Structure 1
Amino acid sequence: MEKNFELFLTQLYEAVEHPDLFERALTTASDMLGTSGVHLYTYDAAKPEERLNYVARIDTAFELEYTTDYFPHDYRIERVHKSPYGQVITDAEMTTEHGLKTNPVHQLLPRYEVYDLMGTNLTKGDNFGWFGVSSLRAGDGFTPLQRKVFERMIPHASRALHYRQRVKSLEMKLSLQDRVAAELPFGLIIFSQHTISSINPEALEILEHGFLKLKKAGLACTDRKHNRKLAEAHVSALHGGLPLLKLTDERSGITYLIQMFNPKPQAAGGAVEAAQYLAVKIMMTGASEQAERAVLENMADVFRLSKAETNVICAVLSNQSLQAYSTSRSVRLDTVRKQLRSALYKMNINSQKQLFQLYEVFRSFSR
């Protein structure tokens, strides 16, 4: 028995990172208990996409039909909620005579060969949680030994279920964050507890111009006057404000629109607390202004730039993002980046900030 229990634990905790292994773990539990179906489940009606449903020896169609048609009307849910967390509860404590006669859920269970139930309340917050087993046949009930073994399983099933919930929530958050950030038409930087949590490609391109800089707690600027405005905006945003700044780089003529906000404002005792997160949204204006062609041709001639390299340099100097340029030219973004790196290498510079400075030098000599 002990060897089988250790096998169950190994399989259960492996399943947290590899959820397809839950069925194997629950099958091992079913074998140890001498029962039929085993069900490990958590569901929040407000977040149906995050529900978890793991079964062994139960038709997988059961959960979908139950969740869709029966869960909102299952009177037993309230009784499970009222039972202490992790304490065994049986049919006798969940059902009523009136419910047995009138509630349609009792017609659903036998169709899926779910009979006498023994389970426990694993609800946390708004996520209804359940770990339960079904007897082999109707009326079998459960022996004291089955109950004892099931009680040993409960704390481990609870940990595995809620660990998996956290992992899934994080996976969904990161997936959404990556997908959205990659498609945004503006720069987006998320700071979390004095570290940079995420930054999208558009923001990286904007920072390459050199006017704005990253620091651990937020955004800084090469211009001291503008830097003070940024610092004040940081404080405002972290305390619930929604500051919007318009900063102009006098050297390049580029104007930056910067908005800061706290994605998850917190309040305690009626007062807004400092937030754990800071989101910074950046847009550049003046993208319609074109770099002077005569100056570009002079630079291309001096540094022996190819036509493709000259075009991408023109796009950068005209404040067009590489993504927008690659789309307009029907050229892969990776190819555009290679062309830019090649041009910068030929000019013996390594940043877009230096490119603007070099352009200004050539333009001053062209007059």
Structure 2
Amino acid sequence: MTEKFSQSTSLDQGADELTQTLNRYMALEGLYLLGAFCVPLLSLGDAVLVLWRVRQAQLRDTISLVLQCSQRIQQKYGMRQTDVGLKLRLKIGISAGRMSFVTVGDQKELRFLIFGQAVGDAWQAQNAANASDIILSARGWELCNQTRVRTRRLAGPVVKVGGMASRATGSTCDPLALPSVGILRPAVTLPPWCPLGQVLHKYIPATVVCAALVLQIDDGQPLECLSELRPVSCLFVKLHFAADVSRKQLCKGIQDSSLIISAILRPCKGQVNKICMFDKGCTLLCVFGLPGDKVPGESIHALESALRISKACVSRSTKLEAVSVGVTSGTVFCGVVGHRMRHEYTGRTCPPEAPVSG
């Protein structure tokens, strides 16, 4: 879609049209999610990780809520036509269970990471889905109210959700019909010199807090105007850990590798844009050429950094078995996306099809 928009018009107009297309779509979807008592937690390129955080005793009812929410999303927003002839369509993977929340980084930058079996199961479920599908993981199927869910077994440990039986007469009201006013998490409005504000500041990408971008935001420039199509070089770094790695060893391995990668990228004006963990590997998206960090020879810097990262990470972690690094260069969308209540500055691109093992 990025390529279509950049080819159909000038780069500036293409970025503007792409931003509006993405934000209109994510605003519709995000508004519904926000109204269903959950948190759109992490945007991953063309995917969104959404979390309902509940007590164990509430899990069964919450899965029913999630399934209803997913059905409504597919019915209302499951397909949208774009101005370049491409259709935006959704597929949804659902799981349930325990997750781990950790913070990785150093004194300059911090990142929030969620991982665990439930996250990996959700990732596998959406991988098994086709457009317009709602797929429930095996664990989610075990925990849900099976008498209310119409399903079809697929290959592998997942089921396809075909619908849900209506609630019995006299049951509690549909949670999705409740108003969303007043249930959003409050926005942080702390001044930058506040001690807590200084800590939270570390979670904001360096590109967003650079002087030029901050001045544009402070001047009241519309956030959509900060979006653009720009040439960059990207690294997709995947950390492969041993099957018997413990949670403590895993956290330490990710933290150590994150510090190594940041130390290699910074002198070359590279940044870690995203970090996520699905299934059995931790993936970091590293970008050279974001606003404020454009330098000559960034493709060479990307290749040199890939080689250094591959060697350095494996040599310093006992439970890290291998590091795969994919390198690519090209035009990507960089800008502000999301619901009007929840923005994120992101770079949207696709990983190389065949990452090279280090």
The TM-score, its normalising length taken from structure 1, stands at 0.21
**The structure with more radius of gyration:** 1
The TM-score, its normalising length taken from structure 2, stands at 0.22
Higher normalized strand content (fraction of residues): 2
